[in-house]
């Protein structure tokens, strides 16, 4: 089997690692933050309300800083030239809604996935699970692409668009819960026909996982295996775990028996459909991790721990309760394991049957896969109902739920297909599957730790632990 040690960045012909202390980067950050309060939700600046002489110098500083920093990122030369051109065009329009399509198309981080390669990213964008407005943002990041992962992607989990990354520094839009850099968030005049990359910040995912899991394990009195404790204590090992989890999860959205593809074709669906899709992708990663462990990959066991702990402890109690599909998936995994006796909550302590948990988790994956296979032969409405029935086997619906009363209570006599879909979605309660008493109690005890992970990076976890 191939060497599982990650490649050391210094062993490549990379440019010297870029420091966030560089004066031009600091000037760029300050100018972006000064522009933020001047921008509207769509990224434009109303020159009837803001004097142009207050805006032009800030944009000039951004331009000059990008120009000064560009030689440190020779692999991004075409992109950084295009960014400067798009900034000038934005100024020439009088700061109307920005259009950075040209620079977006020039930025191709997936074309050169090299461990330790740095990028400077400047776009008007919203940050998913972060800032909903298309403010100008600037991010310094580094690619994570160890040899063992590159080999798995090449031979087993092909995913040419996947780019795992870590933060070096960032502006305020990323001082949030956002852990992704996606091209569809950028302000453009028209959406490209297809996107060619997607970035996921494994350092933020790993640090958040470590902080919340450490707290949950202590609160619940859960005894965990020694290798799980070692994973939780090690930021670098956790990052490696998340890049493998994310690699398999991301590609699963387009693999398997797919009666629908909610993230490739925009369509309105009840939120449990998105919850099942996200959970299917995670459980597929879990299933593959079991196989990798059997083949001698230590990362396989780590991925299993990460999926179990993150899904069961953080996901159900993070975010609001309005159509929280990730929360739903976490609740479902916990309830399935509980009802199949792979975990128990007795005497105010949680216990997991470590000998059975993998088999039971894979059985849930099998149930979702069977739902999808059968869904290929079903009309959409029947598929939604079947999915609801699967979820409600394990999670108790809200007492006021219309869906829980069965098909006879649903507005199925709506004639037009589009109107029917809307009527069925409108019949879904904002919190169709409320938290159990267990998670209500856990939420109160974990809320402070979860709140403290906002904006976290690998260095920030030390502050939470302290």
Identify the domain containing residue 30 by its residue range. 9-196
Report residue 313's pLDDT band, with 50, 70 and 90 as the boundaries: very high
Residues 250 and 330 in one domain: yes
Instruction: Examine the pLDDT at 350 and tell me if it is beyond 70.
Output: yes
Residue 3 lies in a domain: no
> For 67-111, how does the pLDDT look when each residue is reduced to its tens digit (9 = 90+)?
999 999 999 999 999 999 999 999 999 999 999 999 999 999 999
Report residue 172's pLDDT band, with 50, 70 and 90 as the boundaries: very high
Which of 137, 169, 196 is the C-terminal boundary of a domain?
Answer: 196
pLDDT at 415: 75
Q: Which residue do the tokens 């009363």 mark? A: 405
Residues 173 and 222 in one domain: no
Which of 173, 196, 219 is the C-terminal boundary of a domain?
Answer: 196
Residues 151 and 249 in one domain: no
Residue 1 lies in a domain: no
Which of 127, 161, 196 is the C-terminal boundary of a domain?
Answer: 196
6 vs 18: which has the higher pLDDT: 18
Residue 50 lies in a domain: yes
pTM: 0.92
> For 443-460, how does the pLDDT look when each residue is reduced to its tens digit (9 = 90+)?
999 999 999 999 999 886
Residues 397 and 367 in one domain: yes
pLDDT at 397: 98
Residues 396 and 312 in one domain: yes
Q: In which element (H, E) is residue 168 found?
A: strand 162-170
Domain count, the chain: 2
Report residue 33's pLDDT band, with 50, 70 and 90 as the boundaries: very high
pLDDT at 261: 67
CA distance 152 to 300: 12
Q: Could you tell me the two tokens for 88?
A: 């000038």
Residue 369 lies in a domain: yes
Residues 145 and 225 in one domain: no
Report residue 6's pLDDT band, with 50, 70 and 90 as the boundaries: very low
Residues 133 and 268 in one domain: no
Which of 371, 365, 178 has its CA nearest to residue 282? 365
In our burial notation (b when 16+ CB lie closer than 10 A, e otherwise), range 246-271 reads: bbbbbbbbeeeebbbebeeeeeebbb
> For 354-396, how does the pLDDT look when each residue is reduced to its tens digit (9 = 90+)?
999 999 999 999 999 999 999 999 999 999 999 999 999 999 9
Residue 2 lies in a domain: no
Range 40-49 average pLDDT: 97
Residues 238 and 191 in one domain: no
Residue 435 lies in a domain: yes
CA distance 323 to 375: 22
For residue 49, what are the CA distances in angstroms to 44, 54, 96, 178? 12, 11, 13, 30
pLDDT at 260: 76
- For residues 143 and 117, the answer to whether their CB atoms sit within 8 Å is yes
Residue 4 lies in a domain: no
Residues 174 and 208 in one domain: no
Residues 50 and 115 in one domain: yes
Residues 13 and 42 in one domain: yes
Residues 285 and 396 in one domain: yes
- For residues 368 and 350, the answer to whether their CB atoms sit within 8 Å is no
Range with the lowest mean pLDDT among 21-35, 199-213, 248-262?
248-262
293 vs 261: which has the higher pLDDT: 293
């Amino acid at each position: 089997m191939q060497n599982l040690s990650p490649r050391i960045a210094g062993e490549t012909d990379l440019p010297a690692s870029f420091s966030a202390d560089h004066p031009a980067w600091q000037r760029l950050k300050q100018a972006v933050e000064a522009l933020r309060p001047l921008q509207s939700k769509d990224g434009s600046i109303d020159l009837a309300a803001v004097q142009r002489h207050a805006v032009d110098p800030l944009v000039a500083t951004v331009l000059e800083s990008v120009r000064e920093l560009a030689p440190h990122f020779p692999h991004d030369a075409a992109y950084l030239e295009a960014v400067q051109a798009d900034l000038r065009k934005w100024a020439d329009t009088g700061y109307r809604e920005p259009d950075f399509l040209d620079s977006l198309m020039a930025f191709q981080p997936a074309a050169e996935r090299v461990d330790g390669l740095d990028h400077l990213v400047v776009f008007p964008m919203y940050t998913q699970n972060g800032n909903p407005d298309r403010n100008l943002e600037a991010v310094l990041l580094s690619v994570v692409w160890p040899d063992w992962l590159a080999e798995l992607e090449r031979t087993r989990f092909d995913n040419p668009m996947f780019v795992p990354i870590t933060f070096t520094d960032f502006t305020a839009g990323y001082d949030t819960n956002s852990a992704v850099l996606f091209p569809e968030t950028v302000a453009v005049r028209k959406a490209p026909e297809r996107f060619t990359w997607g970035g996921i910040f494994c350092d933020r995912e790993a640090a958040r996982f470590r902080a919340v899991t450490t707290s949950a394990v202590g609160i619940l009195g859960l005894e965990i295996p020694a290798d799980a404790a070692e994973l939780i204590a090690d930021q670098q090992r956790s990052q490696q775990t998340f890049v493998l989890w994310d690699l398999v999860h991301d590609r699963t959205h387009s693999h398997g028996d797919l009666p629908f593809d909610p993230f490739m074709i925009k369509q309105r669906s009840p939120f449990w459909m998105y919850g099942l899709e996200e959970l299917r992708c995670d459980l597929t990663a879990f299933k593959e991790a079991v196989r990798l462990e059997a083949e001698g990959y230590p990362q396989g066991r780590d991925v299993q721990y990460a999926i179990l702990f993150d899904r069961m402890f953080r996901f159900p109690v993070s975010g609001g309760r309005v159509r929280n599909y990730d929360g739903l998936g976490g609740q479902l995994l916990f309830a399935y394991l509980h009802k199949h006796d792979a975990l128990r909550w007795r005497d105010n302590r949680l216990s997991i049957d470590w000998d059975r948990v993998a088999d039971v988790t894979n059985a849930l994956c099998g149930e979702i896969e069977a739902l999808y296979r059968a869904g290929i032969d079903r009309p959409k409405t029947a598929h939604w109902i079947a999915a609801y029935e699967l979820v409600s086997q394990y999670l108790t619906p809200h007492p006021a739920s219309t869906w829980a009363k069965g098909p006879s209570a649903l507005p199925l006599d709506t004639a037009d297909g589009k109107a029917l879909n809307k009527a069925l979605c409108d019949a879904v309660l904002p919190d169709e599957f409320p938290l159990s008493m267990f998670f209500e109690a856990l939420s109160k005890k974990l809320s402070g730790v979860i709140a403290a992970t906002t904006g976290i990076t690998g260095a920030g976890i030390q502050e939470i632990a302290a």
